[in-house]
Structure 1
Amino acid sequence: MSDLAYETDPQDTITAATDATLKSLRPVPRISIQAFCETEAVGNPIERASEDRRMAKAHVKVHQGGVPTAVEFYQTAATPNLVIVESRAEPRELLAQLAQLAEVCDPSSKVVVIGHYNDVWLYRELIRAGVSEYVVAPISMMDIVAIISGIFVDPEAEPLGKSIAFVGAKGGVGSSTIAHNIAFGMSTLFESEVVVADLDLAFGTANINFDQDPAQGIAEAVFSPERIDEVYLDRLLAQCAEHLSLLAAPSTLDRTYDFDGEAFTPIIDTVQRTAPHVVLDVPHIWSSWSKTTLSRADEVVITATPELANLRNTKNLVDMLKKLRPNDGPPKLILNQVGVPKRPEITAADFAEPLGIEPLAVIPFEPQLFGNAANNGRMLAEMERDHAIVTTFNELAHVLTGRREVKPKKKAGLASLLERIAKKK
């Protein structure tokens, strides 16, 4: 970090991080972190950072008190991988306190200091003394995650692929079909490697939709976690298209599929190191592993149909995911099978209003189009490339990969008319 940055504002290189930068950060490895804070303004952001999905593997403990408290604490306790200390002491006093901390700290422990003095000389002395980072309060949750990631994640490592989890608000709403078609769009439109992971081991349909019958798939990986690496995973992938691979589910009932919360984590982590986009086809169940998968995905897409039970379930999912992912935006919503003849339906506007999110897309009920594609083991784009729904899926592929922002809907009626009149003036 340059001295110049600290001569202007010691947090410039961190607080300038946008949401996009935060999303690009790699998950922090399994480390222990202890923080000693003198003020709530520093302690609270660290607490919030500990709840971030990128920090899921880290164990974080926040203590009240600054450097003297840390020195006393480590007289009888082992030091963790990272010690974060806040101090309001003036520069020379702070250096003296940290010298005492160094006497009780393990040499392998990293130290981050959060101070209240914007002083270039102090920063140089702290770095010379072996401190990993010095920042000036106030500090945000994003700052904390960025600092920890910067210390413990190899900057030379390949960037992780983006994981997009698709889940249905109810069974039968078409979440898997939408996930597979969008994944196909990503692979063909951008000529970018995409991996689809079918996590519904008992009843998954990805192998049927892509007309694949691989001898092995995701079950072999989840039941042999000790074998998971890039080479082993490559043997399990079925090639569906030039840039699209599938981790297929066995779709058999010869055994039960009861997993703990971390069962799919090693698989997803490994796949993300091998492909820029990973589409997770999550079944409509609520278990420890599905909860973990949804909470840690880069994006979550909920598919629903416009009826009351779907609205209730979608509301529950949206509310829960906001709690599980406090530092991420809300999940995306797709309304599917809209316009079923003679079926009473909730309008898209009325469906969205209690959720506080607008649908990314409203897909009409087209049983012949979808049925023909499913029965032939083909994607919609392979059947009718110019169909309006295929165009919608292509637009969704752009949005979910970050190549295009969601377009705001045009205002209707009087508001739109007044806006046009104002522009003419």
Structure 2
Amino acid sequence: MDPAQNFEAHAASSAGDEVIAPLPRITLQAFCETPAIAAAMQTATTDRRMEKTHSRVQMGGPAAAVEAFRSAPTPNVIVLETVSDGATLVGHLDALAQSCDAGTKVVVIGHVNDVQLYRDLIRRGVSDYLIAPLEPLDILRTLSELYVAPGARNLGRIVAVMGAKGGVGASTVAHNVAWAMARNLDLSTVIVDLDIAFGTAGLDFNQDPPQGIAEAVFAPERLDANMLDRLLSRCSDNLALLAAPAMLDRTLDLQEEAFEQLFDLLRASVPCVVLDVPHLWSGWVRRCLIGADEVVIVAGPELASLRNAKNLIDLARASRPNDSPPRLVLNQVGLPKRPEIDAGEFAKALGVEVLVAIPFDAQVFGTAANNGQMVAEVQAGGKINEAFIHVASTLTGRGEARRGKRSLLEPLVAKLKRRKA
């Protein structure tokens, strides 16, 4: 791309719902000159995607950066805001270059839309030039792209599905939504059963793989892309499963970051990752929810689900201010003889819309569960399956389901299919 075109693309960019990859473990210092950019930068540093980053935001602009690093080592990333003219900025950058460590990346935030200045900065090794005003997501996107390899394909989207209460059918929703992503939207998808002791994904997909998520979690020193490939079990052309052993031979006193390496590998391998999150509360469960790109809360139309869903939504809003709010799915609606809270009242109490209300159908769900099938395999044209397709389309940003077309096979699923053919 021509530098001028790249410059204009950044100048016109706005926050979207695209996947922004978490930053690696780096150090970052920002030197700002205006309160607005300092505030946006500070907000960005508290975002979930910068959890591993050690950041510091201060005032003073490029001049302060030059002084700060005369005798101190430079961090991995320096962000400079400037309100001065181009010649002054270039002078500060030349002075900063004298003390910059090899590998330090520099991002400049300016207030002048000047293509020639942009080109001069790129020639001097500046990684990017952004035009104020900026939102926190603009900053996050740019910082994340510094660590995405040139030419790398789009990063995968992680969707966490959790029940507001035990027994509301969150696993059933997660599995059927993953199936819809793979089958109806033609997206390579991996479903991860995080309920290591009692997970049902293997039963629901009629799979009994000898290995699965336990091997990935309890032997993290061995986990890499090749090992992950061996652990996946194929459910359909575009759908693979990382199954839970569903055994009680070990307890789940896991560290908060237990799944971090696994999720990074999955995000880099397939477009869609659906996490079937068990209904329990621990450090690692909280981290899974907060770190996901999309959160789906499955609730029943009754009071306990309402209370718990509110707690989860409040937590997500506080911990994920730069993300879309959790999606609410009402499940088992219309259970015979059960008094229920109306969907409209349920949504009003929580301050979020109900994405779908899935009707209770004992025959359809019971047949699917007992046969190790998805609802689409039992009743393809029903309203229940349409609800799952709608959820999948919303979570992936695709309004229309596509049929009959094949996407490029993703590495892990493709290898798995070749090996089992």
Task: Quote the Cα distance in structure 2 between the aligned partners of 1:230 and 1:275.
Answer: 12
The corresponding residue for 1:196 is 191
Correspondence list, 1:238-277, <5 A: 238-277=233-272
CA contact (8 A) 1:303 1:333 kept: yes
Task: Quote the Cα distance in structure 2 between the aligned partners of 1:131 and 1:42.
Answer: 19
Task: Quote the Cα distance in structure 1 between the aligned partners of 2:242 and 2:188.
Answer: 13
Question: What is the aligned length?
Answer: 401
Shift of 1:226: 1.9
Identity %: 51
The corresponding residue for 1:33 is 28
Q: Are 1:17 and 2:41 matched, yes or no?
A: no
SS at match of 2:108: strand
Shift of 1:167: 0.4
Q: Are 1:305 and 2:300 matched, yes or no?
A: yes
The corresponding residue for 2:48 is 53
Match 1:370 to one of 362, 365, 370: 365
Task: Quote the Cα distance in structure 2 between the aligned partners of 1:190 and 1:354.
Answer: 33
Q: Are 1:126 and 2:121 matched, yes or no?
A: yes
SS at match of 2:297: strand
Task: Quote the Cα distance in structure 2 between the aligned partners of 1:3 and 1:270.
Answer: 32
168-177 or 247-256, larger mean C-alpha shift: 247-256
SS at match of 2:381: coil
Give the AA of the match of 2:281: W
Match 2:203 to one of 186, 197, 208: 208
1:68-123: CA deviations, max 9, x gaps?
Answer: 22222223421111111122223322222222222222132111222334444433
Shift of 1:292: 1.4
Q: 1:186 to 1:131 in 2, by over 3 A?
A: closer
Match 2:156 to one of 161, 169, 179: 161
Q: Are 1:384 and 2:379 matched, yes or no?
A: yes
TM-score normalised by L of structure 1: 0.88
Shift of 1:4: 4.4
SS at match of 2:349: coil
Q: Are 1:91 and 2:86 matched, yes or no?
A: yes
Task: Compute the RMSD of aligned alpha carbons.
Answer: 2.2
SS at match of 1:105: coil
Task: Quote the Cα distance in structure 2 between the aligned partners of 1:276 and 1:236.
Answer: 18
The corresponding residue for 2:416 is none
Task: Quote the Cα distance in structure 2 between the aligned partners of 1:346 and 1:405.
Answer: 31
Shift of 1:3: 5.9
Task: Quote the Cα distance in structure 2 between the aligned partners of 1:132 and 1:364.
Answer: 52
1:307-364: CA deviations, max 9, x gaps?
Answer: 1111111111111111221111111111011122232211101100022211111112
Q: Are 1:182 and 2:208 matched, yes or no?
A: no
306-315 or 116-125, larger mean C-alpha shift: 116-125
SS at match of 2:247: coil
Q: Are 1:229 and 2:220 matched, yes or no?
A: no
Shift of 1:219: 0.5
Task: Quote the Cα distance in structure 1 between the aligned partners of 2:57 and 2:322.
Answer: 19
CA contact (8 A) 1:15 1:143 kept: no
Shift of 1:35: 0.4
Task: Quote the Cα distance in structure 1 between the aligned partners of 2:73 and 2:392.
Answer: 49
Gap runs ≥5 in structure 2: 402-421
Task: Quote the Cα distance in structure 1 between the aligned partners of 2:75 and 2:153.
Answer: 27
Q: 1:382 to 1:82 in 2, by over 3 A?
A: same
Gap runs ≥5 in structure 1: 407-425
Task: Quote the Cα distance in structure 2 between the aligned partners of 1:392 and 1:113.
Answer: 46
CA contact (8 A) 2:61 2:81 kept: yes
